[in-house]
Structure 1
Amino acid sequence: MRTPRLVSAIERRLLINYRTDPEITARLLPAPLRPQVVNGWAVSGICLVRLAGARPSFVPAAVAGLGFRSENAAHRIAVEWDTPDGIALGVYIPRRDTASRLNSWVGGRLFPGRHHHSRFDVRENRDELRISVDGPGVDVHVRTATDLPASQLFRNVDHALEFFRRGAAGFSTTPDPTRLDGLELVTEDWNGTPAELLSVRSTFFEDPARFPPGSAIPDCALLMRDLAATWNPLPPMTVRPTTGQLTRTNR
C-alpha cells in the first residue's frame, strides 16, 4: 500500500547549524552519500520543530482542530549524491527524537522516519527560545537577531534559507543498515529570521570519538514560524556501509 502524504502546520522550526570538518563528516555517511561543502566546511546541525495538526492528507482538515502538537528533533548532515539526472541534494538524519509516543510508534512503521521517544523541555517567547532534549543530550538557547551573526557558512539569511530549501529531502536511518527512509518537506513559505546562539550543547557533536576537538563548531541559527507544510514520502534509498566519501562540490 502506498504511504500517504502528511500535512501539518509547523508552529516553530529552529535550525541549529554547525560547521564540521568535511573529511571527518564523510566518515559518518553511508555510500553513496557525501557531505555538501560550503566555504570549506560541511554543514551539519539539529532541527527542532513543533508540529500541529499533523494528519494524512486524505483526513479532513477539521481533525487538525483537535489541537494535537508534538515537539521533535533531528540531527542532520547536508549531503549530496549522484543520480542519472545529476547531483541530488538533501540531508542525512542519523537520529530523530520526539516527545510524542504516537510519533515514536508510527515513525518507521506507518510513515518514514523512525523516532526515539525523548523528553523535551521548552521555554520560549517571541524573542527567546530554550530547548533541551534528554535522549540525545541537546540543550540550545537562542535569541532572535536582525542579522545572521558571524556565520562562516552563509553570507546572509537568504543564502542560508535557499541552501536548506534546495536540500529539503531527508533520509534517515532504519534498523536495516542498507536502507534509509525518505521524507521531503514541501512548503511555499521559506521565510525565516536569524537567531543568536547564546549557548548550545549536543552530545552528538561534542563526542570526541565522532568529532575530534575543533572539527564541529556551532555556526549560526535560523528560526522559522507558522508554516503550512506537506511531508512527501520518498522511495527508500539503498546504501552501503560508511566509506568516508569526500564531496565533489563547493557552494
Structure 2
Amino acid sequence: MLSVETRYAIDPATAKTLDTEGLRQHFHASGLFAEGEIRLVYSHYDRLIMGGAVPGTGSLTLDKVAEAGTASILDRREMGILNIGETGQVTVDGETHEVGRGDVLYIGMGKGPVTFSGPGRFYILSAPAHRACPTRLITVKDARRVELGAPETCNERVILQFLHPEVADTCQLVMGYTQFKPGSVWNTMPAHLHDRRMEAYLYFELGPEQRVFHFMGQPHETRHLVMANEEVVISPPWSIHCGAGTGAYTFCWAMAGDNVDFTDMDMVAMGDLR
C-alpha cells in the first residue's frame, strides 16, 4: 500500500503568522512507519521526498509515484535509504542488498523500481537528479565519522556522513545522521541556515516520553516544534536549524539544493536570535 502527502512551500512572512497547529501541518510529519505500507511526503522545497517503508512479513515495492510525474519514481530521481530497524533487504536493478541497522543504501537515477522485504524499518529520501551515480551500500563502518562538541556545552556528538562527497558520489542528495553521547542534547548551537539548500530531519531512538524541541524560523523570528520518536521536520532554506532534547537521541539529516558541500552554512550569532 502506498500513500503520498504533499506539502507546499511557504514564505517566512506567512510562516510567522501560523499557530502551533499551522506550523505542524506545514513542517511536521508523523506516522510514516506503518507495517505493510509505504508512506511518503512530497515537499515542494527542492522537491524532496521523505517517507517510510515497513515490509513486515511481506514485501513492498516502490515504483510509480504520481507526484513525481514519471513512470517510475527513480526515472528522474536518486534515493537514499536508511534502515532504523533490524536487518532487511532492498532489491533494486536485479540485485538484493542486505541493509543492516544504521546502514544507508544509495540508489542512482534510473534504477527503480525498489522492493523492500524483511524486518527492516526503512527511511526513504529522494531528490531530483540530472545524472546517474552508482548504486552503493554504505555500512556504518564505511561512513565518514566526525566527532564534535563537549560535555560542558551539552553537545558531544558523532556525525556519520554517508551520502557525502568524501564517501559516495551523488547528484545532489546529502545524507547522514548524528548520535549524541549521554548527557548531550543540543544538535547544533549556535544555529545556522543555508538559503541554498533545504533540509529534513528524522528524529529517532527516542524513548516513549522523550521529546526534542526543534527550533525553526528566521533568526529574528524563531518558533519551535515538539518532536517525538520517528517524526520528521521539513526545514525550509530560510529557517535556522537547531534543536535540543530531553535526553540523548539520534537524528538523520538530509539536504537537497544547489550543492553538496556539507559545510556550506551561514552561522547565526547567539545575540541575533530572537
TM surpasses 0.5 = no
TM-score, structure 1 as length reference: 0.27
For CA contacts below 8 A with separation 6 or more, give which structure has more relative contact order: 1
